[in-house]
Amino acid sequence: MKPDKDRKRYILILISIVTISWSIIMGSITTKAMANPIGTKSVDMVAERHRVGKEIYLENCSTCHIAIPPAVLPTETWKTILENPLNHYGTRLEGIIRFNQVLMWQYLSTYSRPISVNETEPKFIAQSRYFFALHPGVEVPSPVSHTSCVECHSRVSDFDFRTLTEEWQ
Ligand code: HEC
Ligand code: HEC
């Protein structure tokens, strides 16, 4: 009886050690993966399950131009962009792996709206009615482009489209 009891206790201790080490290891891995300075500074709340998708979006899509907020373009446009990385506005987006593509799609599709039936899919922000719907009564300089957002949105580099430059406050 006694050795059997000892054996059980030994196994229990072993299981706890394995469980604790596992959570420590996994904990440090996920903390590292999420330690993206742009993402953590960003003000827009996203559901927990889209946090990683947003981080990956910021990592992949803010190196050549600003990270464009999902709401200014319809869901279909985001789909086209994600599905055609090698044909990206005259350039090629290399190294976007399938797994990240899926996570970015989940984030972008959740925070954008689909276009109506028979509506043409805009390729540029300047053609998107959602961009104009977010700017009621705002005289945006023409042509609208990702390069001019910062004229009114002072914290674009932090993916913050709520903070406006002084003249708009
Ligand atoms: C290798 C550089 C590069 C990367 C990385 C990149 N883009 Fe682009 N993107 C461009 C260029 C170049 C243009 C065309 C810019 C222009 O017309 O001024 C563009 C334009 C755009 C536009 C249209 C902007 C407008 O003003 O209407 C969108 C939307 C866009 N990119 C989304 C993305 C997304 C989403 C990703 C990540 C999956 C991404 N980009 C990553 C280079 C890049
Ligand atoms: C001429 C100034 C101006 C320019 C340029 C401009 N915006 Fe805005 N934007 C505003 C103002 C003002 C608001 C607030 C509108 C309101 O709430 O009625 C706003 C609101 C927004 C919002 C909604 C923010 C929120 O969550 O409440 C988004 C997203 C946005 N802009 C994105 C963009 C993007 C992307 C660009 C560049 C393609 C851009 N804006 C260019 C002035 C501007």
pLDDT of residue 11: 63
Please indicate, yes or no, whether residues 6 and 47 belong to a single structural domain of this protein. no
Question: Ligand 1 test: best mutation among 55, 57, 65, most atoms within 8 Å of CB?
Answer: 65
pLDDT on residue 22 = 58
Q: What is the mean pLDDT of residues 31-53?
A: 66
Total of domains in the chain? 2
Which H, E and C letters describe 50-108, residue by residue?
Answer: HHHHHHHHHHHHCCCCCCCCHHHCCHHHHHHHHHCCCCECCECCCCCCHHHHHHHHHHH
Same domain, 2 and 49: no
Answer yes or no: do 12 and 91 share one domain: no
Whether 129 and 161 map to the same domain: the answer is: yes
Tokens 């000892």 locate to: 6
pTM for the whole structure:
0.83
State if residue 149 touches ligand 2 by the CB under 6 angstroms criterion: yes
Query: Does residue 64 sit in the same domain as residue 90?
Result: yes
User: Domain check: are 18 and 52 in the same one?
Assistant: no
Ligand 2 touching residue 70 (CB < 6 A): no
Question: In testing the pocket of ligand 2, which one of 65, 73, 138, 160 has its CB within 8 Å of the most ligand atoms?
Answer: 138
Pick the closest to residue 130 from 141, 114, 142 (CA basis): 114
**Residue minimizing CA distance to atom 41 of ligand 1:** 61
Peptide bond into 69 cis (omega under 30): no
pLDDT band at residue 30 using 50, 70 and 90 as cut-offs: very low
pLDDT of residue 29 exceeding 80, the answer is no
CB atoms within 10 A of CB 71: 17
**Residues 56 and 73 grouped into a single domain:** yes
Within this chain, do residues 29 and 60 fall inside the same structural domain, yes or no? no
69 and 119 in a single domain? The answer is: yes
Considering the domain architecture, whether residues 30 and 111 belong to the same structural domain is answered as no
Task: Say whether both 88 and 131 belong to one domain.
Answer: yes
Query: Is there a single domain that holds both residue 140 and residue 81?
Result: yes
Q: Which ligand is nearest to the CA of 88?
A: 1
> If you measure from the C-alpha of residue 88 to the centroid of ligand 1, how many angstroms do you get, rounded to a whole number?
7
Domain span at residue 31? Answer: 1-35
Give the residue, out of 161, 165, 167, with the most ligand 2 atoms within 8 A of its beta carbon, to mutate for a pocket test. 161
